[in-house]
Amino acid sequence: MSEAAKPSDDPRNDAPSDEIQYRSLSMLAVLGLILGLFSLLALVSPVLWVVPLVAIVVSVTALRRIKNDAERSGGRLATIGLLIAVCVGLWAVSYHFSREWYLFHTAKRFADQWLEVVQSGNLQEAHQLHLPYLDRFNDKSKLDEYYDSVVEIEDSVTEFFDAKPLSEFIKHADQGELRYAGRKDHTTFGMSHFLTLKYILAYEDNGPNELVMNIQLERILNYSDGRHYWRIEHVTPEGGLNILQSN
């Protein structure tokens, strides 16, 4: 056998013919995963809903580039980032609107009960619901005695209910029909929520009249027992006394 026909002893001849190629990691895929994890911030405020949206855009862009470039890897990272962003984004939106519904629902229930107390003429009891929870006098049977003994509290009642539109509401509440006219606003400050509801009292007084009131309520956390409490912060007019028909 000739030298050329002899099998080679070089071990390189036993290596597989397909070479293992290095594929660089897509930085967009990594960024998409990071943004997907940061999408949890969307649960804090609607302003941060932009985070999962950006994560979705970045992750989809990364997947497209990886598909069109065989030298790029990171498809799994981009997919994970995309799934997290979509799930958290949907969670944040549903959580926000369900919480909004709950807060306005409970605020309206509290405001309705408060207005009933005012209409019944129990102004001292109604004033208690205007005070912070820890400042309230909880023994209703001794409210008269309490208010008579503390001049500042009695003056506070007079000042609160003599101001418009509450003074007009107390004057005409028995003559008309009160209706809820919808939600106005919702803001937060620290652990407190401030919600504004609109009410309209329609009554007859030398013609049809409407008294429009905006009632702002505060929902605050009581750290001593971990529970939330409502209070009527203030009542303001909207356009004052609206006379629909004049003589």
- Report whether pLDDT(228) > 60: yes
Query: Residues, the chain, total?
Result: 247
Q: What is the mean pLDDT of residues 86-106?
A: 95
Q: By CB neighbour count within 10 A (0-12 exposed, 13-18 middle, 19+ buried), where does 20 fall?
A: exposed
Residue 28's closest CA among 70, 60, 67, 68? 60
Bridge partners for 243 per DSSP: 209
Residue scoring higher pLDDT (101 or 136): 101
Q: For residues 232 and 244, give the distance between their C-alpha atoms in angstroms, rounded to a whole number.
A: 29
Q: For residues 65 and 71, give the distance between their C-alpha atoms in angstroms, rounded to a whole number.
A: 10
Please state the pTM of the whole predicted model. Answer: 0.74
Q: What is the mean pLDDT of residues 51-56?
A: 96
Residue corresponding to tokens 């958290």:
88
Tell me which DSSP letter residue 142 carries.
G
Bridge partners for 231 per DSSP: 218
